[in-house]
Amino acid sequence: MLYHILADILLVIHLAWILFMLWGFALTIRAFWKPAFFERWLFRSLHLGGILFVGLWELFGKYCPLTVWEYNLRHVNDPSAEYPGSFIVAMVAKLVYPDMDPVMVTIPTVLIAVFTLVVFVLRPPSRFRLRRQPPPGP
């Protein structure tokens, strides 16, 4: 039973991670109109690292570590069923693991990762900008 609960918790964490990646992408697009977002260096750095990791993982055709971990927990709990349990867990699972061609996930993920990297390089947060020294006084 403990493994079942841990797998459900991990599924919710996985959904939160996906929403964080999508939310960060939406904020990156919005930042062109509201430049104040570009000063949030911690959020932008975490999002950039996360989306680059996800993009490379997708590009190499690897399973997300959260997916593998959740599958292993479910398999330990009940080797015959991957998603036993509540309706809510089944619905969240359908959001996290949509039934579609993997290319339909890989291409947008890689494009989002490239876009986020380009925006980060072209308009870095203030903490990462080169600070110019004021000219020496007379």
Rounded CA gap, 11 and 70, in Å?
A: 7
Rounded CA gap, 50 and 87, in Å?
A: 29
Q: 3-class SS at 77?
A: helix
Q: Which pLDDT belongs to residue 52?
A: 93
Q: Which pLDDT belongs to residue 125?
A: 76
How much is the pTM?
0.74
Rounded CA gap, 93 and 98, in Å?
A: 8
Q: Which pLDDT belongs to residue 20?
A: 92
Rounded CA gap, 54 and 20, in Å?
A: 12
Q: Which pLDDT belongs to residue 111?
A: 92
* Residue 122 amino acid letter: L
Q: Residue ranges of the domains in the chain?
A: 2-126
Block means of pLDDT (10 residues each) for the chain, length 138 residues? 86 91 86 69 88 90 87 80 62 79 88 90 72 58
